[in-house]
A = this chain, B = another copy of it.
């Protein structure tokens, strides 16, 4: 089974990488970019039938730093 995990910084947590992208877009002449936040996608190929609870465990233990990041799991 294929799983996608999205890891984003929580709202309120400063995102310097996203800020840098916003500035760079402005410098390149792209106007109207109000905000940019950058996160990670992790695409995994897992054994069929891996329960969602197990995937959440992977996120909690390794993929996301839940103090400052939130994650979303998507099966596709």
Question: Which residues of A pack against B, CB within 8 Å?
Answer: 6, 8, 18, 21, 24-25, 28, 30-47, 50, 54, 57-58, 61-63
Inter-chain contacts of A39 with B (CB < 8 A): 40-43
Chain B residues with Cβ below 8 Å from A40 are: 38-41
Contact: B47 with A32, CB < 8 Å? Answer: yes
Q: Contacts of A8 on B, CB cut-off 8 Å?
A: 41, 43
- From the candidates B47, B57, B62, name the one contacting A21 in the complex (CB within 8 A): B62
Chain B residues lying within 8 Å of A6, measured Cβ to Cβ, are: 41
Cβ A18 vs Cβ B42 within 8 A: yes
30 residue pairs bridging A and B, Cβ less than 8 Å apart: A8-B41, A8-B43, A21-B42, A21-B63, A25-B58, A25-B62, A28-B58, A30-B54, A30-B57, A32-B46, A32-B47, A32-B50, A33-B45, A33-B47, A34-B44, A34-B45, A34-B47, A35-B44, A35-B45, A36-B42, A36-B43, A36-B45, A37-B43, A38-B40, A38-B41, A38-B42, A39-B41, A39-B42, A40-B41, A41-B41
